[in-house]
Structure 1
Amino acid sequence: MDLRIFTEPQQGADYDTLLKVARATEELGFDAFFRSDHYLRMGAGDGLPGPTDAWITLAGLARETERIRLGTLMTAGTFRLPGVLAIQVAQVDRMSGGRIELGLGAGWFEEEHRAYGIPFPKERFGRLEEQLEIVTGLWGTEPGTTFSYEGEHYRLTDSPALPKPAQARVPVIVGGHGARRTPRLAARFADEFNIPFASPEETERQFRRVRDAVAEAGRPADALVYSNALVVCVGKDDAEVARRAAAIGRDVAELKANGLAGSPAEVVDKIGRYGALGSTRIYLQVLDLDDPDHLELISAQVQTQLG
């Protein structure tokens, strides 16, 4: 089971804080550092010092880390034109020596679009499909040839389709809870399917839908990695769990029901339930980025038990 650290910087984190967490991620043996792609805080807190841009952050981390993989859950399709996004991701992949992964979603948080003057189209899923076609098409175009595309939302004419990523294929992550269109997109474009904040029961249903879509698309059954994203709150004892839950404004019982919370043994046991459903990767949503002891505990007493 791969464990990845997943952060939500829009809640209040500058680049230096993210760098500390990314370096701890690397030093403590986790597989990857991922971040959200949002420009406005959600829920409680003041959001200070303000948002950071996902791909600018990852470009910096690409030069200041050596081993861990880096990526987004999920880049908002509404924030970037697909041709520009293909260039950005390819460049950062080269800066990292081939350690980038792209999670790409339709975008959903309308309020942040209003706050920063970003258009929020009514029809976003069709745009996402075209974005996936364009980004993967640009990367897959042979050097010396051009890429053209004409869709309902985007048109590209004789693009040189440069630069190319360092990796032969940048892993693409598609995710969500949608019952029909999401599995179809994952089967067509994804290297990984991720379901965020889902119970084991919800996970089982959605994984089955995606596997069925993969089979219908004629891809091998094991063509995709299946993963979960879950909030994490681990403590050596009940008091420490309660302290960490309070720090992120959450209830312990709710966290145990909907995330990975409790003692290391409890968390290992629940991760095992997801593993039994076919999940081989867990994104640990770490909401308090000023608690390095939390990551150390997870590394020492959870990760070591998962093999």
Structure 2
Amino acid sequence: MVTIGLALPHYDGLFPGPGGTGPQRTRSALDYAQRAERAGLHQVWVSDHLWVDVAPRDRRRSPDCWTLLAAIAATTRRIRLGSLVTPAPLREPELLAHQVSTVADLAGGRLDIGLGAGWNAAEFAAVGRPFPATADRLASVERTAALIRAELGPMAPPIWIGGKRSGILRVVARVADGWNLAWDPTPADYRRRLVRLNEAQTSAHRPTASMLRSVGLTTVIGTDEADLHRRWTRLRDWVPGGHLDELSFDTWRSRGLIGTPDEVRNRLTAWERLGIAHVVCALGMPFGLFDDEQIDLLAAAARRVEATTSTKPHAQEEKA
């Protein structure tokens, strides 16, 4: 059965109400993690960036990923949590392993580690670290994964690696427990990347069936057609930088998991048939939230998928 995760809102101002910066932002992120647990979602994910530039001269800062994960681990009991993704070259690997170990102590087996190669040179400059060449950043992902496993031993959390280019897919094939593809791949995009991943796993002498796979999808649910139009209008006004202004309703609707409850359920079921084990849902935009009710609507959609799969024979995974 496909499980559902939430791309947790945690950047300045990317919440439904006004304000939401500094301490209020960080407390709100923690509150939403607890709300996701109460709603019955499987997981929350925190991105690992110092900021996000939503428009020119509009930089939204974030609490530290691993500090926030520690707080979530200490104030929840059931829901899984993880980073999506930590840029391995941005952090000293020994320090990261120590941070991971502490969060794992608090989470009690509920932690997943997402790693990536990093891409934002400005972040590296801000923390006084050089921005390595691509090959060195990819090697850093492998070294960091190996160090974490050596330090934590049999209790090391699963390691997910995010990315879509050939280089990172080869790293996924060699060392990852799971692979994440974000944001908003189409099924055709996913199949093409999966072919490359399967080829890389074969070269690495790892069985292709051993890899857990997830996708990150923009998610907006309307209770019916009219309600979906209303939420589209509200979202378009809310998203910073006018990023949706040039999109038509139909073009926007074709993305990810956008639609009525039946449409969302059908798309989730289709992704499950493609072998996706987990879907990370961005409620309006990655790591933002424009509408509190979306969490409950998403949880209801997940329950519908669970009910459907429990009453029907499991569909055969589509071959890439």
Identity of aligned residues (%): 27
Q: CA deviation at 1:138?
A: 4.7
User: Which position in structure 2 is the counterpart of 1:145?
Assistant: none
TM-score (norm 1): 0.83
> Which one of the candidate residues 227, 242, 255 is aligned to 2:214?
227
d(CA) in 2 for partners of 1:26 and 1:93? 18
Q: 1:97 to 1:228 in 2, by over 3 A?
A: same
Structure 1 segments, 4+ long, off by >6 Å, are none
Q: CA deviation at 1:33?
A: 0.5
Is 1:178 matched with 2:165?
yes
User: Which position in structure 2 is the counterpart of 1:143?
Assistant: none
User: Which position in structure 1 is the counterpart of 2:291?
Assistant: 291
d(CA) in 2 for partners of 1:8 and 1:178? 26
Q: CA deviation at 1:257?
A: 2.7
The more displaced of 51-60 and 280-289 is 280-289
d(CA) in 1 for partners of 2:141 and 2:162? 15
- The 3-state SS of whatever aligns with 1:289 is coil
d(CA) in 1 for partners of 2:72 and 2:113? 15
User: Which position in structure 1 is the counterpart of 2:228?
Assistant: 238
User: Which position in structure 2 is the counterpart of 1:274?
Assistant: 271
d(CA) in 2 for partners of 1:222 and 1:69? 23
Q: 1:291 to 1:106 in 2, by over 3 A?
A: same
> Which one of the candidate residues 84, 103, 110 is aligned to 2:121?
110
Can you list the C-alpha shifts for 1:189-208, whole angstroms capped at 9, x where unaligned? 11101111211111011112
Kindly indicate whether the alpha-carbon contact (under 8 Å) linking 1:71 and 1:100 is maintained by their aligned counterparts in 2: yes
User: Which position in structure 2 is the counterpart of 1:196?
Assistant: 182
Kindly indicate whether the alpha-carbon contact (under 8 Å) linking 1:230 and 1:259 is maintained by their aligned counterparts in 2: yes
Kindly indicate whether the alpha-carbon contact (under 8 Å) linking 2:121 and 2:131 is maintained by their aligned counterparts in 1: no
Q: 1:124 to 1:82 in 2, by over 3 A?
A: farther
Kindly indicate whether the alpha-carbon contact (under 8 Å) linking 1:33 and 1:71 is maintained by their aligned counterparts in 2: yes
d(CA) in 2 for partners of 1:118 and 1:253? 44
Is 1:19 matched with 2:25?
no
Kindly indicate whether the alpha-carbon contact (under 8 Å) linking 2:97 and 2:147 is maintained by their aligned counterparts in 1: no
One-letter amino acid of the structure 2 residue matched with residue 104 of structure 1: L
> Which one of the candidate residues 255, 258, 262 is aligned to 1:261?
258
**Quick check: which one's helix share is greater?**
2
**Aligned pairs (5 A) from 1:126-141:** 126-140=136-150
Q: CA deviation at 1:279?
A: 1.1
> Which one of the candidate residues 62, 67, 81 is aligned to 2:92?
81
Unmatched tracts of structure 1, length 5 or more = 141-160
d(CA) in 1 for partners of 2:11 and 2:228? 29
- The 3-state SS of whatever aligns with 1:41 is strand
User: Which position in structure 2 is the counterpart of 1:148?
Assistant: none
Kindly indicate whether the alpha-carbon contact (under 8 Å) linking 2:89 and 2:140 is maintained by their aligned counterparts in 1: no
d(CA) in 1 for partners of 2:88 and 2:174? 17
> Which one of the candidate residues 194, 197, 208 is aligned to 2:195?
208
One-letter amino acid of the structure 1 residue matched with residue 168 of structure 2: T
Q: CA deviation at 1:177?
A: 1.4
d(CA) in 1 for partners of 2:132 and 2:118? 11
User: Which position in structure 2 is the counterpart of 1:146?
Assistant: none
One-letter amino acid of the structure 2 residue matched with residue 126 of structure 1: D
Structure with the bigger RCO (C-alpha within 8 Å, sep 6+) is: 2
Q: CA deviation at 1:47?
A: 5.1
One-letter amino acid of the structure 2 residue matched with residue 238 of structure 1: L
Q: 1:138 to 1:42 in 2, by over 3 A?
A: closer
d(CA) in 2 for partners of 1:72 and 1:54? 7
d(CA) in 2 for partners of 1:10 and 1:244? 19
d(CA) in 2 for partners of 1:175 and 1:265? 29
Q: CA deviation at 1:273?
A: 2.8
Kindly indicate whether the alpha-carbon contact (under 8 Å) linking 1:241 and 1:262 is maintained by their aligned counterparts in 2: no
Pairwise CA RMSD of aligned residues? 2.2
User: Which position in structure 2 is the counterpart of 1:54?
Assistant: 65
Q: 1:283 to 1:69 in 2, by over 3 A?
A: same
Unmatched tracts of structure 2, length 5 or more = 14-19, 307-320
Can you list the C-alpha shifts for 1:119-152, whole angstroms capped at 9, x where unaligned? 3414144233234334424533xxxxxxxxxxxx
Aligned residues: 280
